[in-house]
Chains A and B, each alone.
Chain A
Amino acid sequence: MKELLSGNEAVAQGALEADVKVAVAYPGTPSTEILETIAARHKSIYAQWSPNEKVAYEVGIGSSLGGARTIVTMKHVGLNVAADPFMTHAYTGVNAGFVVISADDPEMHSSQNEQDNRFFAHFAKVPMLEPSDSQESKDMVLEGMKISEEFDTPLLLRMTTRISHSKGVVELSEPCEYEGDKFVKNPSKYVMVPGNARGRHVVVTERLEKLKEYAEKTPYNFIENNGSKIGIITGGISYQYTKEVLPDADYLKLGFTYPLPMKKIADFIKSHDRVIVIEELEPFYEDQIKIEGLKVEGKKYFGVLGELSPARVAAGLKKAGIIDKVAISEIPPTENMFPRPPVLCPGCSHRGVFMALNKLKVAVTGDIGCYTLGALPPLKSVDTCICMGASIGNAIGMEKVDGYKKGTVAVIGDSTFLHSGVTGLMDAVYNNSNVTIMILDNSVTAMTGGQEHPSTGKTLMGEKANEVDIPSLCKALGVKNYRDVDPYDYEATLNAIKEEIEKPGPSVIRTNRPCVLMPKRIMDEPFVVDLELCTACTLCFRISCPAILASEETNDRGKPKAIIDTTLCTGCTLCAQICPDEAIILQSKMVTEGV
C-alpha cells in the first residue's frame, strides 16, 4: 500500500512497523509532527512529551534498557540539551533498539542557529543514518533499530527541514514483532563511574571499527553507475537536488553516514576523473575524506550557509566547471514589495506585555517562543534571544553588573519556563538577584503548534494529567515577590512591572491569559472604530495588531484613521485602552448608537 507522507509522518510509520513501544520528545520545529502523528494514528505506541529533551532522552534510555524499542525525537538544538545523556549513552549502549532523531533546520526557517548535528555522531562515536526522502525516513527507523541492537549502540537518525516537512509517496509494510528482554543488571555496562567507563570507552572504540565494516556493505550506501567520468558523493536532500541538476553523473549516495565507508569512497574516487562532494551546511563528509588523503572537491563551490537547492547546486557545479550553463536561476532579491513578517496574533496575550516593556524602555532578555515576535517593530522590546531558558540567566548576569541603567526584565513562556527556566529562577533566588522575571503563561506550547506540557493538565495521548502549579513552584523555590497580572489590562501590567523592578530580590510576574488560538479559538465581541472620534493619531497602529488597519478616511494632515477587521478582532480591549480619543468601542455599542 502506498501513501503520501511527510518525512516526519514516515518516521512515525517506521516506528509502527519496527514495533517501537515508546516514543518520547519535547516539541521543536521541524521535528514536532513525529510524535503528534504517533499519538494520533499509531496508538499502539506509548508516546509522551517530556519537559525537555534531556529528560526525554533519559526516559528513552530507561525504556530501551527495560526491553522496549524506543525513539526519542527533537530539533537540532534539542540535542544540545540532551547531549549530556547522549554522550554517555554512547558508552553504555542499549538493550532494545534506540534511535534518536535530530531534525536539523538548515536556513533557520524556525530556529536560532543552523548547527550541523552530523558532528554529534562523530563526537559521540555513534552510527548515523541520513534519509533523503520520506521512503528512506520510514525504512531507516527499522534499519536503525537493527543496527542499534546488533552493535549495542544508540543511533542518530538525522533529518533536515526539507526531509521532515516534504511529502512523498511511501510504500507501507506490515509491522514486525519485536520482543525484547527485560532489564538485566550489569553495572560494568550501565554504571558509568570512572572505573567502568574506561572499560566502556574501549568497547566504543572497537565498536566503531565494526561499524566501519558495516558501512562498506550496507545497501544504504550505494553506487549509481552511469558511465560518467564525474563522480558525485552526496547524501540527504542534497542527493535529490543534485540528481535533478546532473542526472547522468555517477553517484555514491550515502545513507549510512557515520562512520563513512572509506574503502568504497576510495574506490569510487579512484575510478573517476573528478569527484565532487555535495552536502548541505558543513563539510562533514568532505573533511573526513580529505583526512584520509583522498582527493575530492566540494565546499569551495557550494559554501556552508543555509539550504542548498537545485539552483545552488547548479551554480556550484558551474563554478566547478562541470556544467557550462545553468538552466535554473537562483531567486533574485525581492523588489520593493511589502514584507509579510510573522506577527503576534490578534488578541495575543503577549501584546500588552510588550506594549508595557516598550514604554518602560528597560532591557529585555528574551527566550524561545512566540514572544520572540516582540523583538520586531513596532513593539521592538526584546533585546536578546539565545536558547531555551536563557532569558533568566541573561537577566541575572546583566543585573549583577548593572548592565542597563533602566533595569532588566526577563520574559519566558510557560512551556519554556518548565523546560529550562526553573533552574534559572533557582539561581535568581539563591544568588539574590534583583531581576524581574515575567512568565508569559498562555497555558500551551504555542510556537510549535499548541502542544501540551506539564502544567496544561493533559498528556500527548489526550489523557488527564497532574498539573504542575507554576505559582506554587515559584513560591516553593523561595520567590517572595510573586504576582499574577492580567495582560489584557495595560495599566495593571505596566504598573506591576514598574513596581517589581524597584523591589530588591527576585520578582516573578506571571500573566494569566490563555493563547487565543490553542487549544480553543477565543473570540469575544469585536471592537470597531468610531471614525467621527478617531483623530488619526496612529497610536493603535503601533501595537502591531493584524486586526487594526488603515481606513480610507484621513485627518486634515492626510494621516489615515484606523479601521478594525471585525473578523480578526478577538475583543482583547488593548487598543481601546490606549486610544486617547475613546474612538475604539464595542461593536454592539456602535450599532445601537448609530441607529
Chain B
Amino acid sequence: MSDSYNILIVGVGGQGVLLASEIISEVAIRANLDVKKSEIHGMSQRGGVVSSHVKIAKKVYSPTIEYGQADVLISFEQAEGLRALDWMKKNGVAIVSTTTLIPAIVTSSKGFNYPDDSIAEMKKKANNVIAVEADDIARELGNPRLVNTILLGVLSTIAPYDQNLWEESIKARVKEKFIDINLKAIERGRQLNPKAVKA
C-alpha cells in the first residue's frame, strides 16, 4: 500500500498532541484522501503519555498504526521520542522537539533514570532524526504552546501534500484568536530546512 502515510504523534498531556493530529487529518481530507485517527484519552490530563495515530491512504481500515509502521514520528518531548522510536519504519523520519519533561516518578523512586540525551540515542538507532529546538522558537514567538505547530511546519516540508492545505487546515481547526500566531509558527517550522538541521 504505497499510497499510505502513517504519522504517529507522541507527547505528554497538555502539549497539544490532539490538536496536531486534528490538523494533519484535516490536511488529508482536503487532499481528498481517506483518514482515520486514533488516540486513547481518559488519563491524559494527569501527566500520562499521549499518543495519536493518524493514518492516511486512499482507503484506511484499522485506525491504529502498527509497531514499526509509522512513516513519520513526531514527538513533543525527547524521551518520548526515544520511547516511540521503534514504531517508525526503518527508513522513517523522526521530528522531535528537544523539550524535556521529567516525571515525578524519576525523582521519587530509585531505579528509574531519565535518559541524558535521548536525541543522541535516537540518532544512533535511526538515520533520519530531525531535532528541533522548538521550545526556544515558541518562546521567541511569544507562546510556549506553539511547539506542536512548529513541528507541523517541519512535517509539511516532507509530507506529500500541497503546502497551502496546511494553512487552510490551521484556519479551519484552530480557535480564531490563535490562527495568526499558529500560521507564523508553521512558517517558522518550514524554514528549519530538515536537511540543514540534520547536518
Contacts and interface: CB of A to CB of B under 8 A. Distances in A.
B104 interface: yes
A370 B113 CA distance: 26
Interface centre among A237, A341, A373, A560 (most CB of B within 10 A): A341
Contacts, number: 146
Contact of A331 (B25, B38, B67, B109): B67
B31 interface: no
B104 A165 contact: no
Contacts of B108: 377-378, 538, 541-542, 544
Interface string B94-119: 00000000111111110011110000
A549 B42 contact: no
B154 to A, nearest CB: 23
Contacts of B61: 240-241, 243-244
B34 A311 contact: no
B40 A168 contact: no
A341 B103 CA distance: 9
Given A162-B63, A546-B103, A338 B113 contact: yes
A368 B106 CA distance: 27
B71 interface: no
Nearest to A338: B112
A244 B115 CA distance: 36
B64 A167 contact: no
B43 interface: yes
Contacts of A311: 66-67
A217 B5 CA distance: 37
A4 interface: yes
B66 A110 contact: no
A340 B37 contact: no
Contacts of A340: 12, 47-49, 80, 103, 105
Interface string A377-410: 1100000000000000000000000000000000
A165 B67 contact: no
B36 A168 contact: yes
A4 B80 CA distance: 27
Contact of A168 (B45, B63, B67, B107): B63
Size class of the A contact interface (CB-based, 8 Å) = 35 or more
A338 B115 CA distance: 9
9 contacts: A166-B39, A241-B62, A310-B62, A331-B67, A338-B106, A338-B112, A343-B47, A344-B46, A541-B108
B41 interface: yes
A328 B69 contact: yes
Contacts of A133: 36, 63
Interface string B11-39: 01000000000100110010000111111
Contacts of B25: 4, 167
A341 B106 CA distance: 11
A165 B39 contact: yes
B169 to A, nearest CB: 11
A169 interface: yes
A541 B107 contact: yes
Interface in A102-147: 109-110, 133
A548 interface: yes
A546 B106 CA distance: 10
B: contact size bracket: 35 or more
Given A329-B67, A343-B46, 7 more contacts: A109-B43, A110-B43, A168-B36, A244-B62, A338-B103, A342-B43, A449-B41
Contacts of B69: 328
Contacts of A167: 25, 35-38, 63
Nearest to B118: A337
A544 B105 CA distance: 8
A343 B13 CA distance: 11
Nearest to B144: A567
A265 B191 CA distance: 58
A110 B26 CA distance: 28
B48 A342 contact: yes
B56 to A, nearest CB: 11
Contact of A334 (B22, B80, B83): B83
Contact of B45 (A109, A161, A449): A449
B123 to A, nearest CB: 17
B66 A309 contact: yes
B114 to A, nearest CB: 6
Interface pairs A-B: 7 shortest CB-CB: A110-B42, A166-B63, A342-B46, A338-B112, A166-B38, A342-B43, A541-B108
A541 B113 CA distance: 15
Nearest to B87: A331
B37 A373 contact: no
Given A166-B36, A240-B63, A338-B105, A29 B83 contact: no
Contact of B107 (A237, A334, A337, A549): A549
B26 A4 contact: yes
Interface in A325-348: 328-332, 334, 337-345
Tell which of B35, B43, B82 has the most Cβ of chain A within 10 Å.
B43
Contacts of B102: 549
B159 interface: no
Contacts of B39: 165-166
B60 interface: yes
